[in-house]
Amino acid sequence: MSTESHGAAVSTESHGAAVSTSTTRVVVHPDATAVAEATAARLLVTLVDTLSVRDVAHVVVTGGTVGIATLAAVARSPLAATIDWTSVHVWWGDERFVAAGDPDRNEGQAQQALLGSLPLPEENIHRMGAAGSFATAEEAAADYVAQITAAGTPAWDVLMLGMGPDGHVASLFPGHAGYAARGAESIAVHDSPKPPPTRVSLTLESIRRARRVWVVAAGAGKADVVARSLHGDLELPAAAVRGTQETLWLIDAEAAARV
Ligand SMILES: O=C(O)[C@H](O)[C@@H](O)[C@H](O)[C@H](O)COP(=O)(O)O
């Protein structure tokens, strides 16, 4: 069961990205497991809907606890068998710039939780580059820009974001240069406060091209930044993300405690 709470008015002047008309809405679930299960169901239904009006759907997945738990819940769902996965493209909001096969890689965790069990053509899986394959995170970011461009710079149909207790999303951290980056789809991130320190991320500009942005978060440790973000504290990257059609915060009761 979920409880819909208020829809907050959306400011259109923040950070100079595309103006959005969508309203931020908050859906509160009892606990982290329910957030993951409900988000998985929402994702699958959205894919069914999207593929009834478009030939291809582009989904951006996230690392983090709730993000990976959501992918695992998709894998368990009987609805997964109703999707034509050859029409679904999978992208990442951010990646840890460590060697391929390192357990820290978001793509490896996603592969294990879901992607390995789906009939997804390899060419539909758009990974951010790993250390070893690329000399620098800058080169990996440039490669991701090229992948996005080659796909026609799609409007992401669903873009999921975990959120850190500091209000970061993807690998855009408060007070860091990456949060303010403009003019590119993907960037290198250094000195990340969350380990590992070197990462690749989508930019805020790229995130805000998404049709639907879903922020998934759970736990008391997120309550403060959830409240600050929803009150529009733009020091926090989480406060600046939104989709052109839909912005949803899918959170548990603990994370919603101060809203
Ligand atoms: O690579 C990563 O670490 C992420 O993509 C990051 O943005 C994550 O989603 C948040 O930090 C939330 O993570 P938790 O849900 O584990 O707190």
Mean pLDDT by groups of 10 residues along the chain of 259 residues: 38 35 88 98 98 98 97 97 97 98 97 97 98 98 98 98 98 97 97 97 98 98 98 98 97 97
What is the pLDDT, as a whole number, of residue 237?
98
Cα atoms found within 13 Å of the Cα of residue 157, Cβ hemisphere only: 22
Instruction: Provide ipTM, 2 decimals.
Output: 0.96
What distance in angstroms lies between residue 200's CA and the mean position of ligand 1's atoms? 13
Which atom of ligand 1 is found nearest the CA of 164?
Answer: 11
What distance in angstroms lies between residue 52's CA and the mean position of ligand 1's atoms? 31
Which atom of ligand 1 is found nearest the CA of 96?
Answer: 1
Taking CB atoms and a 6 Å cutoff, what residues make up the pocket around ligand 1?
62-67, 94, 96, 106, 162-164, 168-170, 194
Which domains are assigned to the chain?
40-252 (3.40.50.1360)
Q: Going by DSSP bridges, is the β-strand pair 186-189/199-202 parallel, antiparallel, or unpaired?
A: antiparallel
What distance in angstroms lies between residue 55's CA and the mean position of ligand 1's atoms? 30
| Helical (H) or strand (E) element with 91 | strand 88-92
Ligand 1, atom 7: closest residue by C-alpha: 170
Mutate to test the pocket of ligand 1, among 62, 104, 105, 160 (most ligand atoms within 8 A of CB): 62
Distance CA 9, CA 84 (A): 36
What is the pLDDT, as a whole number, of residue 23?
87
Whether residue 7 contacts residue 23, with contact meaning beta carbons closer than 8 Å, is answered with yes
What distance in angstroms lies between residue 149's CA and the mean position of ligand 1's atoms? 26
Which single residue is written with the structure tokens 């995170």? 137
Which atom of ligand 1 is found nearest the CA of 162?
Answer: 9
Whether residue 243 contacts residue 213, with contact meaning beta carbons closer than 8 Å, is answered with yes
Q: Which two tokens stand for residue 222?
A: 């997120």
The pTM is what? 0.92
Ligand 1, atom 11: closest residue by C-alpha: 164
Tell whether the torsion through CA atoms of 217, 218, 221 and 225 is positive or negative.
positive
124: alpha, beta or left? (left if phi > 0; alpha if psi -120 to 50): alpha
What is the pLDDT, as a whole number, of residue 20?
43
H helices present in the chain, as ranges: 32-53, 65-76, 106-113, 137-150, 177-180, 204-207, 223-230, 237-240
What distance in angstroms lies between residue 162's CA and the mean position of ligand 1's atoms? 5
Ligand 1, atom 13: closest residue by C-alpha: 64
What distance in angstroms lies between residue 127's CA and the mean position of ligand 1's atoms? 17
What is the pLDDT, as a whole number, of residue 4?
44
